[in-house]
Amino acid sequence: MKVLHVITGLAAGGAEQQLRSLLPYLRARCEVAVLTGHGVVADAIERSGVPVHHVGMRGNRDLRAVGRLARLMRRHRYDVVHTHLYRACVYGRLAARLANVPAIVATEHSIGREHVEGRRLTRPIRALYLASELLGHLTVAVSPTVADRLSRWGVPRSRIVVVPNGVDGGAFGFDAALRRRTRERLGLPDGAFVIGGVGRLEPSKRFDALIRALPPLEHVVLLLVGSGSCESRLRELARATGAERRVIFAGESPEVGALMSAMDVLAAPSVEETFGVAVVEALASGLPVLYDACPAVEDLPPGSAPGARRVAPHRLAAELAELAGQAGPAAGPPRRLPPPEAVRLYDVRHQADQLEGLYLRLLGAAPTEE
């Protein structure tokens, strides 16, 4: 079975990292087509031996990208096209129809209540999405929360399947030696208490709240992993609050596990999420997590993620101060927590098995072989 994953870009965002983590566990022969840019995740995927095709799309109205995608699909005779993220879903499903691909699947990673992939939802955006959704066979929602949002948009429930995101818990297991090496590389003092933030530097992530919490906290450093349109604004805020020397902008990185080893708590103050992969990764790393919105935790039975606590925005600074105070420079590094049941429930192997079962069900027959 040959599967082409089509994704908008391959910078180090949540959906992109999710695809990278999934590929080694799929038994199908997989290839990737990226519409725009390249990015560190594309490099990592190519190093793993999975071919990456660069479509070279130039903006949202570059309709020639549809033709290039369709020709790629015809040439390689894929059994399944699996699209990821809004733009790839719109263009990829149309190209797959033109190329007569037998099974067309889309995964929705980033549909929020009012935004999609950081852009405000408008009627034209929703209408275009719904029109393109009819060209596919099934839409995968990464959480029941996303399934509900798709249904409210107008996607029939019969065309929605929930397959939660997966995490390779072993890749995020805590390693004391890795912690020391990573902290040395980042120039972090031994006694520093490190608050981590992982995700795109966009307004909805509310990383500004973490910077505002820093000034009164001695021996506390903020480590932000990711890039985005708010980076310059966040840097200016750090300067304005006098916390510039205690905020590290690590940028995009495919080595999130190593960076989490250097942290002492993960803070996820996002106004809304579709899943919350970073939260599950942090739990696998043994970190306590403070979050505001996280379907990955909220959709589970109570007690599945005891290390994760929902904290109202107005309480975030106080909660971080309390954790930092409990550690203190003389107390040594905080004790890591054992990985909770949530990490097992979201094992990437379960995700891979569910998706491949879905592919085979849609094909309804033995896939083609070359």
User: What would the pLDDT profile of 205-219 be if each residue is shown by its tens digit?
Assistant: 999 999 999 999 988
Provide the mean pLDDT of the chain.
90
* Strand-pair category, 52-54 with 115-116: unpaired
Whether 123 contacts 148, CB under 8 Å = no
Whether 137 contacts 104, CB under 8 Å = yes
pLDDT at residue 219 in the model: 87
> 344 pLDDT exceeds 70?
yes
Whether 220 contacts 246, CB under 8 Å = yes
Whether 70 contacts 95, CB under 8 Å = yes
The stretch 300-311 carries a mean pLDDT of: 94
* CA–CA distance, 11 with 70 (Å, rounded to integer): 24
What the block records as the tokens of 170 is: 């072993």
Give backbone dihedrals phi and psi of 42, rounded to 5 degrees, phi first.
-60, -45
Q: Which among 198, 207, 169 has a CA at the least distance from the CA of 262? A: 198
Q: What's the pLDDT tens digit per position in 123-167?
A: 887 888 889 999 999 999 999 988 998 898 889 999 999 999 999
Number of CB atoms found within 10 A of residue 328's CB? 13
Among the residues of the chain, which ranges form H helices?
14-22, 39-47, 64-76, 86-98, 123-133, 144-153, 176-186, 208-213, 231-240, 256-261, 277-284, 295-298, 316-327, 341-345, 348-363
Q: Give the SS3 label for residue 127.
A: helix
| Whether the model pTM is above 0.95 | no
Looking at per-residue pLDDT, the higher value among 94 and 117 belongs to 94
Q: Which of the residue ranges 8-22, 82-96, 258-272 would you say has the lowest mean pLDDT?
A: 8-22
* CA–CA distance, 167 with 236 (Å, rounded to integer): 34
Is the four-CA dihedral 79, 85, 87, 89 of positive or negative sign? positive
The stretch 302-311 carries a mean pLDDT of: 95
